[in-house]
């Protein structure tokens, strides 16, 4: 199906799947090579993401990796203030997504830096990190901000993911939210077996008639299965991204942009001759 997202007046066409490059302005994200600490590292990463062909830069200021000690809201905002000033300087017209589960952080990034979408993994972390935060606050916030919203489900099976997403979409629609992207939540609330079962049924999410984001880049579902490491997980990340595209994914969230862009081109070429 064909989808478009209204990103602050810029229409992002998802007829051809898009690649979202990860920019972690954190000291503790799960993949060490993805951490950008200095101003120069952040600027270089912005240029790399765009030069390698991504259309979205996903900026995060708080790691949500398992067993992490999360940054406070103040720390997350400080990191994002610094990173987004650099991103906007280097790429003023880039489409920027903000990886956050905090409504106030979402508001700040949209109002002060013109962030174009919110990528919320709150459903997976609120119980452990911020038990007093009601995710409905985020729903209300994004509906007021009028930016696309990425909802991630932490349910374990595809049936549960579908029911969860359908319920959330109804809630968001009732609040006036228009642009919604669904993320089945690989690596969150799932065993290794659950992750592969969800991937095996990914095409079922097309029944919800919304674009699907897949984020499996270098995750433990890959390297634990193969008894390797994050550093050795690129080949199978590429394989799973290809499977996801064949099953209808509209956005790939990745550390390795060039390889993901090549996947999109190869799958498009294959489908053109089917």
- Catalytically active residues are 219, 253
Give the dihedral sign, CA 182/128/187/80. Answer: positive
Q: Interior CA angle at 245 toward 50 and 165, to 5°?
A: 100
How far apart CA 88 and CA 239 sit, in angstroms, is: 33
Q: State CA 164 to chain mean position distance.
A: 18
Query: CA torsion, points 79, 83, 88, 91, in degrees to nearest 10?
Result: -150
């Amino acid at each position: 199906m064909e989808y478009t997202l209204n990103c602050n007046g810029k229409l992002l066409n998802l007829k051809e799947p898009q690649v979202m490059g990860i920019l972690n302005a954190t000291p503790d994200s799960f993949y060490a090579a993805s951490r950008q600490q200095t101003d120069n590292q952040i600027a270089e990463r912005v240029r790399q993401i765009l030069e390698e062909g991504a259309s979205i830069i996903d900026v995060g200021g708080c790691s949500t990796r398992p067993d992490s000690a999360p940054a406070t809201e103040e720390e997350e905002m400080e990191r994002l203030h610094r990173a987004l000033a650099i991103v906007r300087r280097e790429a003023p017209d880039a489409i920027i997504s903000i990886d956050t589960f905090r409504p106030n952080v979402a508001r700040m990034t949209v109002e002060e830096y013109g962030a174009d979408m919110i990528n919320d993994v709150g459903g997976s972390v609120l119980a452990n990190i911020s038990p007093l935060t009601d995710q409905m606050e985020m729903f209300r916030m994004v509906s007021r901000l009028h930016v696309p919203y990425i909802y991630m489900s932490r349910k374990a099976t595809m049936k549960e993911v579908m029911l969860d997403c359908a319920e959330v979409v109804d809630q968001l629609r009732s609040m006036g939210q228009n642009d919604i992207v669904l993320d089945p939540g690989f690596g969150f609330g799932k065993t290794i077996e659950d992750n592969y079962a969800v991937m095996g049924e990914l095409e079922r999410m097309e029944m919800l008639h919304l674009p699907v984001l897949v984020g499996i880049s270098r995750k433990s579902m890959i390297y634990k299965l193969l008894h390797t490491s994050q550093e050795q997980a690129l080949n199978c990340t590429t394989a799973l991204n290809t499977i996801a595209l064949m099953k209808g994914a509209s956005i790939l969230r990745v550390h390795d942009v060039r390889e993901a862009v090549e996947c999109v081109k190869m799958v498009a070429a294959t489908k053109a001759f089917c």
